[in-house]
Structure 1
């Protein structure tokens, strides 16, 4: 339902609300499972299920997706965006093949998604053990560092979405990739706890927000409106496959070579994503400078 030029902002809101959902779960754990030695998981399962059911009911009652999509297509057409879709409101599926240059960009951005998820997921999943084994840190210290990264990402989602609409998605992603690879690479030189780790991982959180907010919209930019579900599937296939593969590879390295390989591993895969992103030439949005006709999407509601 969101017009293409505004999808980075829209994805920022999605990520923010996902973070709010995570905070809600933490609150439910604190309220429904105060006794960590003898946890009854049924209230947590039922509470989570209840929240999801309420969400679906609200979605059904308040959002008329087909009507909103048609309205979005006509508003987009007034700006010269996907004009042909506004003329075929009843089109649900199209099997039109992407032009060769677009297919190349799609393949390389999906490779990029897989690579940076391989690096980021490996580091965040094993950081607590890495901090204890390689840095002689307490578990509470490593948890605090990861929390700082999460908070920094949450704070950054909306500003990153706004900035991406102005300077372009690809540039924001490349900046995020460089910062994230640098953070992981330099973190390999720490030999013990250092307060600078909080700064490093705050930057990592901001960098991850810059990457995550823009990657899905870049994939969807290459789709037709009727195929948006299919392209969303491509994106999540790449990201989820990476998160299945990387624990196996990184885990083998940690087990057989040692935990000192974790940060270089993360930096390597995120760095490789920079190279593949440089091959992506489609999926960006044109910068929006100053007042824009896109305001009509706001007044149309």
Structure 2
């Protein structure tokens, strides 16, 4: 009996979908807060509210779309139709955001972007477990996140200097790259044949147990299961994403307001985290296959706790000790710490989705991917608001977020202790393939 192997080329090509998602959100999170601060003069609390409007919409949209894509049948599969519709709309509206000169139009552009991105994000991520055997899902997700890290690096490494030239240029870059990424996925990725039909329809294959289309019902099922592993991993995802999304949202403002960096240089610092994340993505998956996903995630959480505490404890003037200049921006002590943080985040993020989808069967991968995004988007809603108002109430003390973040990473470590399932499943090969 020959074990199914991982197709690295196909996985890399699929990774372009996540590459496009990462480019869009990296540019969005790095520069939209700067627009809100500099163009519209908003304070941290109000910025956080606007930055989570997209997450609130995603919270409502993405889980049902994961369920819907599980049931979709079309000539090109159950996931790809969502990319055909969502990606070009997202790319087009993204280029309009920097040209919105009045706040209502700016917010409307951001919400339109979110709706388009939410339409295809869950289905494109669910493609990875669709085409990858269980034991290879952590390494495969490493490849996917490598491509996502590449998107983050390009968005911030190139986007920072472009922003200094013209604030609209990073958005043009993002729109162009997401269009290219979607085209590559549509050309080279083919879904499993059992999910392709001659005409569009909805399918319920499981006899006697129809798939729930109610997201809240699916969440309720997770809470009422005898084994609480799914509940604990989803709570862990909620907690660590509260910390991560808040850091991602406010780091450029932290760099500008606390460290005194320029907007472009502050955004450039994020590229160091993205670069190290990208380099660690594949090793993180391989380590999980060898040492188990839970252990690797827990190690990543402790790395994140240590790096955030270090940034808080080290004085700003020492954090900005400069070693070199790169593309008009600096390489500082804080850059080194952010590189280490990227390694830690890779250990966490690469292995969390495989743990979630390996708590269910192949028919419900989209449903559980939707649950993954429900909790991560709930975190993306709570995190920036919690951190934003905390910062504002502390007199716009952006350094405070380096205290709050480790608390949530530690709480995530505690909930991970309750996770007993989610490791790679034993390989089974159908008799017809033996």
Q: TM-score, with normalisation over the residues of structure 2? A: 0.54
SS, match of residue 314 in structure 2: coil
How many residues are aligned here? 268
What are the superposed Cα offsets for residues 246-293 of structure 1, whole Å, 9 maximum, x if unpaired? 11111001111122311011111111101111111111237x9xxxx8
Q: How many Å separate the matches in 1 of 2:421 and 2:155?
A: 38
Cα 1:262–1:27 change in 2 (3 A) is closer
What are the superposed Cα offsets for residues 20-42 of structure 1, whole Å, 9 maximum, x if unpaired? 44566679979xx8994485899
Residue 145 of structure 1 deviates from its aligned partner by 2.9
CA contact (8 A) 2:276 2:342 kept: yes
Q: Which residue of 1 aligns with 2:385?
A: 248
The one of 272, 283, 297 aligned to 2:422:
283
What are the superposed Cα offsets for residues 58-94 of structure 1, whole Å, 9 maximum, x if unpaired? 14xx51423599xxxxxxxxxxxxxxxxxxxx65976
Q: Which residue of 1 aligns with 2:313?
A: 189
Instruction: Map 1:73-88 to 2 at 5 A.
Output: none
What are the superposed Cα offsets for residues 133-192 of structure 1, whole Å, 9 maximum, x if unpaired? 333344455334322111100000011111110100000000000110111122111221
What are the superposed Cα offsets for residues 3-60 of structure 1, whole Å, 9 maximum, x if unpaired? 1111101111111222344566679979xx899448589965873564255235314x
The one of 251, 259, 283 aligned to 1:127:
251
> Which shows bigger deviation, 261-270 or 121-130?
121-130
When the two chains are superposed, the root-mean-square deviation of aligned CA atoms in Å is: 3.5
Q: Which residue of 2 aligns with 1:55?
A: 184
CA contact (8 A) 2:159 2:169 kept: no
Q: Which residue of 2 aligns with 1:239?
A: 376
Q: Which residue of 1 aligns with 2:260?
A: 136
Q: How many Å separate the matches in 1 of 2:250 and 2:284?
A: 27
Instruction: Map 1:106-255 to 2 at 5 A.
Output: 106-193=230-317, 194=319, 195-255=332-392
CA contact (8 A) 1:105 1:280 kept: yes
Unaligned runs of 5+ in 2: 1-130, 197-204, 213-220, 320-331
Cα 1:226–1:187 change in 2 (3 A) is same
SS, match of residue 305 in structure 2: helix
Q: How many Å separate the matches in 1 of 2:294 and 2:138?
A: 11
Q: Which residue of 1 aligns with 2:398?
A: 259
CA contact (8 A) 1:135 1:191 kept: no
Residue 128 of structure 1 deviates from its aligned partner by 2.2
Residue 237 of structure 1 deviates from its aligned partner by 0.7
Q: TM-score, with normalisation over the residues of structure 1? A: 0.76
CA contact (8 A) 1:135 1:190 kept: no
CA contact (8 A) 2:233 2:416 kept: yes
Cα 1:273–1:163 change in 2 (3 A) is same
Cα 1:155–1:38 change in 2 (3 A) is closer
SS, match of residue 281 in structure 1: coil
SS, match of residue 188 in structure 1: helix
SS, match of residue 385 in structure 2: helix
Q: Which residue of 1 aligns with 2:137?
A: 7
The one of 382, 388, 407 aligned to 1:268:
407
